[in-house]
Amino acid sequence: MSIRISATLEARMVDGEGRIVCVSCSHPLGPTDQPWKPAATLNELPMKGAGGEVYTAGDDVLLRQFNCPSCGKVLDTETALRGDPFLIDEVDVSALSDS
Ligand SMILES: [Zn+2]
């Protein structure tokens, strides 16, 4: 059994344990009860100028891309100030262990 938690991630039972995995390549990103973003490859890009001259945010506003360390697919993005902690989504996947 698996539960799709986003367009790029799903919770899946692996060896009797709930794991977050990349949908594209099944690379494991950690247990379902822990944040997965620290297991991803992080790419931080300055937002200043990202949309041309229209976007003139300060140099500390970043676009963070979280990529699969195996296949490289972008798993999620967020905007943040430099040094901010990752935004952590909490998704109820308790139905995974009920099956
Ligand atoms: Zn992948």
Residue 39 lies in a domain: yes
Tell me the CA–centroid distance for residue 47 and ligand 1, in Å: 25
pLDDT at 74: 97
Residue 66 lies in a domain: yes
> Bigger pLDDT: 25 or 99?
25
Residue 99 lies in a domain: no
Tell me the CA–centroid distance for residue 58 and ligand 1, in Å: 32
Mean pLDDT, rounded, for 63-87: 96
Residue 38 lies in a domain: yes
Q: Report whether pLDDT(91) > 70.
A: yes
Mean pLDDT of the chain: 90
Q: Give the range of the structural domain holding residue 46, as residue numbers without chain letter.
A: 2-82
Mean pLDDT, rounded, for 16-39: 96
Pairing of strands 41-46, 9-14: unpaired
pLDDT at 12: 95
Please say whether the dihedral angle defined by the alpha carbons of residues 3, 78, 26 and 30, taken in this order, is positive or negative: negative
Residue 36 lies in a domain: yes
CA-CA distance, 99 to 95, in Å (whole number)?
7
Residue 97 lies in a domain: no
Residue 23 lies in a domain: yes
Q: Report whether pLDDT(54) > 80.
A: no
What is the total count of domains within the chain? Answer: 1
Residue 90 lies in a domain: no
Tell me the CA–centroid distance for residue 69 and ligand 1, in Å: 7
Burial class (CB in 10 A: 0-12, 13-18, 19+), 69: middle
